[in-house]
Amino acid sequence: MLEVRGLSKRFGGLQAVRDVDLDVAAGSITALIGPNGAGKTTSFAMIAGFIRPDAGRVALEGRAITALRPDRIAAHGLVRTFQITQPFGGLSVAENIRIGAFLHVAEPAAAMAAARAIGTRLGLGPLLDRPAASLTVAGRKRLELARALATQPRLLLLDEVMAGLNPAEIGEIVGLIREIRTAGVTILLIEHIMQAVASLAERVYVLAEGALIATGSPREIAENPAVIEAYLGHGAAARLARTHSSPFDQAAPHG
Amino acid sequence: MPLVVLAGIVLAALPFLGGSQYLATIGLLTAASALVGQGWNLAGGFGGLTSFGSVMFFGIGAYTAAIIQTRWGINPWFGLPAGAALGGLAGAVVGFAAFRAGLRGSYFALVTLAFAEVFHVLSNSLALTGAGLGITLRLAPGLGNFQFLDRRASYAVMLALLVLATALAHWLRASRFGARLVALRENEDAAQALGIDIVRTKTLAFALSGAVIATAGVVYTQTYLYIDPSIAFSVERSVEMLLVAMIGGPGTVWGPILGAIGLHLVADTAQAWIALPGFAAMLYGVVLLAVIRLLPDGIAGMFRRA
Ligand SMILES: Nc1ncnc2c1ncn2[C@@H]1O[C@H](COP(=O)(O)OP(=O)(O)OP(=O)(O)O)[C@@H](O)[C@H]1O
Ligand SMILES: [Mg+2]
């Protein structure tokens, strides 16, 4: 579905993303993880057309989309959310979602009906007529998701939609993401919350200091010494091996 | 709100009932302010495209009307569609250049100001526009000639255009295009992520704004039968449009009308008492500061809260 090859980006003296290859199979949930500043959001921004890569190419369903404008890429069915939520502050929640719905529904009343249905489905029902600026963090994350979903995407890029939420809220979002996938949307997500990654993703890519250091199932990733080192520092893998535990043990509850 | 609309209709009709040229002149000036304010509002209010140079469209409309009849003998009524078309074209060209370059906020404002100055200089030097002397129309009153001795007729034309422009604002508020324009104003990155073509949407809005403002210039020429560079492209008129929209409530359908009435009440009253050169410009500045400070959503915002 999505094929990324050799993606690279340098900001001044910092190589933010270095030669990243990534594949997302149609119908799958794929996760991109890594420590802070690893280059995850920058990779998303390049895939979605917001940042022009220095090198590399991106193909969506076999069609090259490298360096197309974000709105063109969205029209092709690839839509991203923002880690730092970007609501249309002066508009109501429903109007926010309707902007997404307008991508494929031209008629204003029909787009509004679709927007309200999606908002309700994502648990924003009672908030639909409130100004988006009044939402809590949890509400804003849901709004990001709802707006993107309203564009009827085929591939959704979710950038930390669970950050800042409490465990109950995370549980709900995990359920929603599963539903979205079941409805036929392929998902690539960035997430720090390992429990959510382990229970959602079939395949995980690990980025550290701009480069991919591992890929595999959540279980394989949790046991990979290179990943443990990247998260906990040099020598951590050896120390943990002595105690026979992994920092990700609690992260894979459903086996 | 119906009460307000009723009051508006009565107010708009007043100059026709009295038969006084004085009332008709006040009506004409207020409607003209409301029309350019509404034109500015279409892009500046709904889209947040704050232009400091939208007088260029007024000037283009005014010169289009003057040129087609004095140079080419075309019927003056044709000035309205021709002026609107050229104003729209100028808006599209200037807008496309600026938005393509990613100019926003004060950069965009300054570029529009610069373009208005370019038109000012051009009109001051081209033979087609009569250079510094400007263009004087031959007095030939008559409906077929779009020249009226009775100010009430000019007022009626201006009012009709204002109704059209306000209908356009109303459409903008209800349409997909308008919603996308507002989304761009609120958050460009999010809008683009959701599939909105930034350059296209903004360019269209600025062209629309240009077309509407140009029609006011056409009526100006037909009313005063004279146009020159400093009238056509005065910075003060650019500020007036912005002010009318800001006072009334930017991005609202009725704001510019409320703003024009408000501004004329204040400005005309003050000017009747204090006749200093440059006083109007100073007053505009004070009014703008007061509005930003006290009424961030304009007069229309006050009604909404009430
Ligand atoms: N526009 C930019 N200009 C300069 N440096 C940038 C820019 N954007 C990101 N960076 C830097 O690039 C690196 C990667 O940033 P990025 O946001 O992609 O990380 P991330 O993996 O998403 O991190 P986090 O988990 O904290 O969100 C960081 O060091 C960041 O400071
Ligand atoms: Mg990030």
Amino acid A111: pLDDT: 96
B305: contact with A, CB 8 A cutoff = no
Interchain contact, B186 vs A69, CB within 8 Å: no
Distance CA B199, CA A148 (A): 21
Instruction: Using pLDDT thresholds of 50, 70 and 90, give the confidence band for residue A239.
Output: low
Interchain contact, A99 vs B194, CB within 8 Å: yes
CA-A12 nearest atom, ligand 1: 4
A2-87+153-250 is a CATH 3.90.1170.50 domain: no
Instruction: Using pLDDT thresholds of 50, 70 and 90, give the confidence band for residue A164.
Output: confident
A104-109 long-range contacts, Cβ below 8 Å, gap at least 24? A104/A151, A104/A152, A106/B176, A107/B176, A108/B174, A108/B175, A108/B176, A108/B179
User: Going by C-beta distance under 8 Å and a sequence separation of 6 or more, which residues neighbour residue B23?
Assistant: B14, B15
CA distance A188 to chain B (A): 16
Least confident piece of the model among A82-96, A213-227, B67-81, B285-299: B285-299
How far apart are the CA of A83 and the centre of ligand 1, in A? 11
B197: contact with A, CB 8 A cutoff = yes
Amino acid A248: pLDDT: 58
How far apart are the CA of A160 and the centre of ligand 2, in A? 7
On the question of pLDDT at A254 being above 70, the answer is no
Contact call for residues A224 and A233 (beta carbons, < 8 A): no
Mean pLDDT of chain A: 89
Which chain B residues are within 8 Å of A80, Cβ to Cβ? 193
Instruction: Using pLDDT thresholds of 50, 70 and 90, give the confidence band for residue A124.
Output: very high
Percentage of chain A beyond pLDDT 90 is 72
Contact call for residues B219 and B154 (beta carbons, < 8 A): yes
CA–CA distance from B276 to each of B73, B264, B287 (Å)?
41, 17, 17
Q: Which of B265, B6, B30 has its CA nearest to residue B155?
A: B30
Distance CA A89, CA B183 (A): 9
Closest chain A residue by Cα to residue B174: A108
Interchain contact, B194 vs A111, CB within 8 Å: no
Distance CA A139, CA A127 (A): 9
ipTM: 0.87
Amino acid B15: pLDDT: 78
Please tell me the number of Cα atoms within 13 Å of B111 on its side-chain side.
Answer: 19
pLDDT along chain B (306 residues), means of 10: 72 76 86 95 96 96 95 93 97 96 92 95 91 88 89 92 95 96 96 97 98 97 94 91 90 91 79 71 77 77 61
Closest chain B residue by Cα to residue A107: B176
Nearest beta carbon to residue A99 from set B174, B175, B180: B180
Amino acid A220: pLDDT: 85
A121 by Cβ neighbours in 10 Å (0-12 / 13-18 / 19+) ranks as: middle
Q: Which of B284, B260, B280, B262 has its CA nearest to residue B272?
A: B280
Amino acid B3: pLDDT: 72
Which chain A residues are within 8 Å of B298, Cβ to Cβ? none
Q: Is A234 helix (H, G, I), strand (E, B) or coil?
A: coil
Interchain contact, B193 vs A75, CB within 8 Å: no
Distance CA B235, CA B55 (A): 7
User: Going by C-beta distance under 8 Å and a sequence separation of 6 or more, which residues neighbour residue A89?
Assistant: A131, A132, A133, B186, B187
Please tell me the number of Cα atoms within 13 Å of A82 on its side-chain side.
Answer: 18
Contact call for residues A98 and A112 (beta carbons, < 8 A): yes
Which chain A residues are within 8 Å of B179, Cβ to Cβ? 95, 98-99, 102, 108
What is the DSSP track for A76-115?
A: TTEEE--SS----TTSBHHHHHHHHHTTT--SHHHHHHHH
Domain boundaries, chain A: 2-87+153-250
Nearest beta carbon to residue B176 from set A69, A74, A102: A102
The letter for the amino acid at A232 is L
Strands, E assignment, chain B: 135-136, 226-227
